Amino acid sequence: GGRRSGSMNKIIPGVSPSMMCADALNLGADAVKLTEAGVQYFHYDIMDGDFVPNFMLGPDVIKAVRKVSAVPADIHLMVKNPERHLHLFDLKPGDMVSVHQESTIHLQRTLAAIRAAGAQAAVALNPATPLCMIEDVLPDLDMVVVMTVNPGFAGQKLVPATLGKITRLRRMLDENGYDNVRIEVDGNVSFENAVKMRAAGADLFVAGTSAVFREGGIEANMKKLLECIR
């Protein structure tokens, strides 16, 4: 309720479904359903078993899904030294690549490399990582990903302190003239949490097992989630 700040009026809120939570045996069919349901991106969690204690997805999955949908890729690199691996992804205009602030010594160079490759650049922050860690790369960013769970696994519970962090981030961006930089939230985006996350200032929602890939089916769940974030 109430008047939202400038940025909240300009950016169209949307959903980026977590493809690691889709039906691996029917990924193409799920991708088509999600496209028809109006998702803004497909969220691909890429994990190296080192930055996070899990392995997940890869460039070939992204390539395969591109055969059935033109929806752009929202590639979440949960890998050490992501700059070493960018060349493996056949990036297209409209794609978003997020790297973790905690995963590289050379964050500004890496963000610039993502833009040089033709994609939009984003930085992801683990729950414990303070906002001040990105205050000197705001010009290099198209989006900030606030991890609302500790990365690596689906089915986890929201870290409560991350809600306030979203609000502080939106304020930090708007006060510095970056009201066009998006805020994505990733982790335990349930219908109930999505409402709180939206009110806090998020505009792109990674939907996994908490709201979309659960009983009720993709179509109905997407409709419900879109109502929560409008």
3-state helix, strand, coil in the chain (%, to 5): 40, 20, 40
Binding flag, residue 76, Zn ion (CB under 5 A)? yes
Residues in the interface with ligand DX5 (CB under 6 A) total 19
Give the Cα separation of 191 and 45 in Å (integer): 21
| Interaction residues for ligand DX5, span 194-213 (CB under 6 A) | 206, 208-210
Choose which of 7, 37, 46, 151 interacts with ligand DX5 (CB under 6 A). 151
Choose which of 188, 194, 200, 202 interacts with ligand DX5 (CB under 6 A). 188
Q: How far is the CB of 209 from ligand DX5 (least distance, A)?
A: 4
Q: Torsions phi, psi of 151, nearest 5?
A: -65, 155
| DSSP H helices in 23-160 | 27-37, 59-66, 107-116
Given the rule CB under 5 A, which of 5-13, 58-66, 185-193, 213-221 is the region that contacts Zn ion? 185-193
Q: How far is the CB of 85 from Zn ion (least distance, A)?
A: 16
| Interaction residues for ligand DX5, span 57-76 (CB under 6 A) | 76
Q: Is the dihedral of CA 202, 142, 87, 63 positive or negative?
A: positive
Provide the mask over 24-53, with x wherever binding to Zn ion is found by CB under 5 A and - wherever it is not.
Answer: ---------------------x--------
- Please report, for residues 168, 171, 180, the alpha-carbon distance to residue 5 in angstroms, rounded to integers and kept in the order given: 13, 9, 12
Choose which of 49, 53, 139, 155 interacts with ligand DX5 (CB under 6 A). 155
Q: List the one residue out of 166, 98, 101, 184 whose CA is nearest residue 135.
A: 101
Give the Cα separation of 203 and 184 in Å (integer): 6
Binding flag, residue 184, Zn ion (CB under 5 A)? no
Choose which of 30, 95, 142, 186 interacts with ligand DX5 (CB under 6 A). 186
Binding flag, residue 18, ligand DX5 (CB under 6 A)? yes
Rg (CA), the chain: 16
Q: Does 186 participate in catalysis according to the annotation?
A: yes
Binding flag, residue 186, Zn ion (CB under 5 A)? yes
SS3 55: strand
Cβ(77)–Cβ(103) below 8 Å: yes
Which residue in this structure is represented by tokens 């890496």?
110
Active site residues: 45, 186
Residues that bind Zn ion (CB under 5 A): 45, 76, 186
Residues that bind ligand DX5 (CB under 6 A): 18, 20-21, 45, 76, 149, 151-152, 154-156, 186-189, 206, 208-210
